[in-house]
Amino acid sequence: MVAYPNENKIVYGIVVGGNDSDPDPTMSGGVRVYCPTEYGPNVDIKHLPFARTLAQGNQNGMTTANPPPEHGSAVMCMKMAGHSSTGHLHVLGCIPNDINRDSTVPGNSAALWPAIAKAISDIAKIRIPPNAGSGPAGSKPPKEKGEYWKHELAKGIPSTATLWSMSGMFLPQEKNISTAVQAFTSVLTGDMLGKLPGLNMTIGSLFDNMPSALKDALFKELPPEIGLAMNSMSKLLQSVEINEAGGFNTAAKINPDVFFKNAVDVLSNVRDIYGMVSVFQRLQYDTSLYGLESLPPVDLVMSGGPFGDIPMQLDALGNLTSLVPEPAQKLIEAFSSLMTNTSGGFPGVFPNANMFGGSAAVMNEMFNRLKPEEYKKAVEQAQKAIAPGTKERTNLNKIVGAAMTGLNIFDALT
């Protein structure tokens, strides 16, 4: 039996019809396929028949709806016997990669590609990944970018758009989360973080924040296909709005003058998709690229405390340091002595014993966990009870002495 040369063979094609703008009238998921190696420039895609796609060979394949692939998708198809001179095909499967519409099949002219270029730019009614909203978890919805999906957005990258860095947002490990056992002077607040120098940035906003001159210099160094991939990736990456209402950051703080230059240095060496993803990951976790060490600390003041105003410094890494002046330090040491010694502090039930025993130092340290205004109240109240010569301390000594010698404590106060 003689076989025609254009049948019983596998051909390469691009999906150009079958979505909501050109639906299969049978509503069975058919697609129009343009074969660039088979068709000339004058083929009208509306004249192409709707081809069927194969499914898994079991009951699930018979009963599961298979939505057609998006316009611009690359597919492999089989030309069956009897279909050599027609556009009828059986779609075997999709090729999950991208078609660079700026190039052509070797030996062909760019004039053969207008139908494919149009299909690649056709808009699907699917929104691209949104940016995250700001505020506490669940308080604000994600922010849509206002753009719909088209195959063109995946130029240069796998059309599945499932590269690691595009699957979500990487949040750096936070090492300075405040806890209930810390002194209040070491607790970071949103107001403090808002005064830090530098720029809060997630990798999704890298190219939005990068100076245009640096960006231009970067893309001049990149091979064209990698430049396409990087543009596509940056378009689809998610970013997050930084809200510093809490005591820690939800993104990395960077020194833009240093970080963007470092970013260009490492990205300019990318030569393939694997290298690009690896560099994007590095830009998220390698703090040596951030340039934070060159940012000056921020001067702060904790006011309202019992020992006067306490100057502090906050560096770009989130480390808070108290710069206690000498007069305040002497007051702190004097109060600490009253709290912890056995003769001038809180008397216990035994002679020459502190009421808090071995926990006296801990009790003194716990005062530091209070807010400045509450700390001040606690210190003032404690000083009334333990400071020598005060009425409260004199009465307390009389009561303890009477109790220790078996006398009536009420008589001791008369």
Chosen domain end from 282, 298, 314: 298
Chosen domain end from 121, 152, 171: 121
Tell me, yes or no, whether 92 lies in a domain: yes
Across the range 98-126, mean pLDDT stands at 69
Per-residue pLDDT tens digits for 258-293: 999 999 999 999 999 889 988 988 888 888 999 988
Q: What pLDDT was estimated at residue 185?
A: 67
Kindly state whether residues 84 and 151 are assigned to the same domain. no
Tell me, yes or no, whether 404 lies in a domain: yes
Nearest to 185 by CA among 374, 332, 370: 370
Kindly state whether residues 197 and 284 are assigned to the same domain. yes
Q: What pLDDT was estimated at residue 414?
A: 67
- The number of beta carbons lying within 10 Å of the beta carbon of residue 404 is 12
Directed axis angle between helix 256-267 and helix 212-221, to 10°?
10
**Pairing between β-strand 32-34 and β-strand 74-79 as defined by DSSP bridges:** unpaired
How sure is the predictor about 343, in pLDDT bands with cuts at 50, 70 and 90? low
Per-residue pLDDT tens digits for 152-173: 888 888 888 878 777 665 655 6
Tell me, yes or no, whether 47 lies in a domain: yes
The separation between CA 257 and the C-alpha centre of its own chain, rounded to angstroms, equals 21
Residue 98: Cβ-neighbour burial (10 angstroms; 0-12, 13-18, 19+): buried
Kindly state whether residues 89 and 209 are assigned to the same domain. no
Residue 186 has pLDDT above 80, yes or no: no
Kindly state whether residues 333 and 288 are assigned to the same domain. no
Kindly state whether residues 150 and 263 are assigned to the same domain. yes
Kindly state whether residues 348 and 263 are assigned to the same domain. no
Higher pLDDT pick, 377 / 218: 218
Tell me, yes or no, whether 317 lies in a domain: no
Q: What pLDDT was estimated at residue 5?
A: 63
Higher pLDDT pick, 117 / 392: 117
Q: What pLDDT was estimated at residue 146?
A: 86
Higher pLDDT pick, 65 / 353: 65
Q: What pLDDT was estimated at residue 103?
A: 52
Nearest to 13 by CA among 81, 71, 82: 71
Tell me, yes or no, whether 291 lies in a domain: yes
Q: What pLDDT was estimated at residue 258?
A: 93
Higher pLDDT pick, 85 / 210: 210
Tell me, yes or no, whether 158 lies in a domain: yes
HEC string for the chain: CCCCCCCCEEEEEEEEECCCCCCCCCCCCCEEEECCCCCCCCCCHHHCCCEEECCCCCHHHHHCCCCCCCCCCEEEEEECCCCCCCCCCEEEEEECCCCCCCCCCCCCCHHHCHHHHHHHHCEEEEECCCEECCCCCCCCCCECCCCEEEHHHHCCCCCCCCCHHHCCCCCCCCCCCCCCCCCHHHCCCHHHHHCCCCEEECHHHHHHHCCHHHHHHHHHHCCHHHHHHHHHHHHHCCCECCCCCCCCCCCEEECHHHHHHHHHHHHCCCCCHHHHHHHHHHHHHCHHHCCHHHCCCEEEEECCCCCCCEEEEECCCCCEEECCCHHHHHHHHHHHHHHHCCCCCCECCCCCCECCHHHHHHHHHHHCCCCHHHHHHHHHHHHHHHCCCCHHHHHHHHHHHHHHHCCCHHHHCC
Higher pLDDT pick, 84 / 107: 84
Kindly state whether residues 218 and 345 are assigned to the same domain. no
What's the domain range around 354? 325-412
In sequence order, what are the residues at sequence separation of 6 or more whose Cβ sits closer than 8 angstroms to the Cβ of residue 347?
353, 354, 355, 396, 397, 400
Proportion of the chain above pLDDT 90, given as a percent: 17
Tell me, yes or no, whether 313 lies in a domain: no
Chosen domain end from 66, 86, 121: 121
How many domains is the chain partitioned into structurally? Answer: 3
> 78-92, 168-182, 216-230, 338-352: which has the highest mean pLDDT?
216-230
How sure is the predictor about 84, in pLDDT bands with cuts at 50, 70 and 90? low
Kindly state whether residues 248 and 183 are assigned to the same domain. yes
Kindly state whether residues 131 and 252 are assigned to the same domain. yes
Kindly state whether residues 219 and 268 are assigned to the same domain. yes
Nearest to 368 by CA among 311, 300, 298, 306: 306
How sure is the predictor about 331, in pLDDT bands with cuts at 50, 70 and 90? confident
pTM of the model: 0.67
Kindly state whether residues 341 and 197 are assigned to the same domain. no
Per-residue pLDDT tens digits for 115-153: 888 898 899 888 888 877 665 555 567 788 888 999 888
Tell me, yes or no, whether 263 lies in a domain: yes
Rounded to an integer, what distance in angstroms lies between the CA atom of residue 44 and that of residue 151? 21
Kindly state whether residues 55 and 200 are assigned to the same domain. no
Q: Which of 29-38, 128-137, 250-259, 303-312 has the lowest mean pLDDT?
A: 128-137
What are the structure tokens assigned to 246, written together?
A: 């809490």
Q: Which of 40-44, 373-377, 404-408 has the lowest mean pLDDT?
A: 404-408
Averaged pLDDT score across all residues of the chain: 78
Per-residue pLDDT tens digits for 220-263: 999 988 998 898 888 888 776 554 444 434 456 789 999 999 99
